[in-house]
Structures are given as C-alpha cells and as structure tokens.
Amino acid sequence: MDDGEVEDHPAEKETENSVSKVMLARVLTKKRLALIKAWEGSEKTKSENRAYKKHSTIELWKDNKKASIEAECKRIEENLERKKAEYVERMKNKVVEIHQLAEEKRTCVDAQKSEEFLEVEETAAKFRSRGVTPRKFFACFSA
C-alpha cells in the first residue's frame, strides 16, 4: 500500500451506503407523496369541472323550461284577453239589441194605447150623441 492512501473501512462504506439508501428512500417517498398529492389535486379539479359543467347544464335547462312556461303563460293570457274582448263585444251587442227590443215594445204599447184611446173617444162620442151612459162603467152607480 502507498503511504498517501488511506484505507476505507468497510464499516464506513456500509454506513455511507445506508445513509445514501435512507436518503434515496426519503427522496423517493417524498417524490411519491408529491405525485400522489398532484394526482389528488388533478382529480379534484376534474371532479369540480365536471360538477360545474353539470350545474351549468342544469341551470341552462331550468332557464329554457322557465322561458318556455313564461311564453306559454303569455300566450294563454293573450288568448284570454282576446276571448274577453270578444265576450265584452257580444255583451255590448246584446245590450244594444235589448235596448232596441225594449224600444220596439214601448212603441207597440204606445201604439196600442193610442188605438185604445181612439176607441174610447169614439165610443164616448157615440154615448154623447145618443145620450146613453155606459153599462159596464161603475155598475154600482147604475140605476
């Protein structure tokens, strides 16, 4: 052996190897844990994104259904307003028709009254010209 060289003890080499193996094992464990943590974060992000997309889809579906129902409601309201206007017009026409019929009936009654007055006046004139009193009028006063 040379004087300048120091012999390595096998125990020191084993200690260095053990320390290196332990350090390597720790590094590998940290690396594995970091990869697992990264995978976990990635999976959680994917899950959040899927949930967000589903929520967006549900919100869009809800908005479409709501808009559809509101449109139907508006259509029904317009239909009811149109029918209401038609019924109001019919009722107004019936009121006008009733007014006309009442006017015609009043005219008939007035014409009949005029005829009866004329008849009574003619009969009264006959009684006056003959000097006779009517028999049916005030039967209690007849002699």
- Residues 127, 133 contacting (CB under 8 angstroms): yes
Is there a domain that residue 142 lies in? no
Is there a domain that residue 72 lies in? yes
Q: How many helices (H) and strands (E) does the chain have?
A: 1, 0
Tokens of 131: 């000097």
Is there a domain that residue 4 lies in? no
- Domains in the chain, number: 1
The CA dihedral of 72, 77, 79, 85, to the nearest 10 degrees, is -170
Is there a domain that residue 90 lies in? yes
Give the separation between CA 115 and CA 122, rounded to whole angstroms. 10
Is there a domain that residue 138 lies in? no
Per-residue model confidence (pLDDT) at position 101: 98
Give residue 32's domain range: 12-126
Give the separation between CA 16 and CA 10, rounded to whole angstroms. 10
Query: Which tens digits make up the pLDDT trace of 92-142?
Result: 999 999 999 999 999 999 999 999 999 999 999 999 999 888 887 655 555
Query: Which tens digits make up the pLDDT trace of 42-80?
Result: 999 999 999 999 999 999 999 999 999 999 999 999 999
pTM above 0.75, yes or no: no
Is there a domain that residue 135 lies in? no
Is there a domain that residue 5 lies in? no
- Residues 7, 1 contacting (CB under 8 angstroms): yes
Tokens of 106: 């009043």
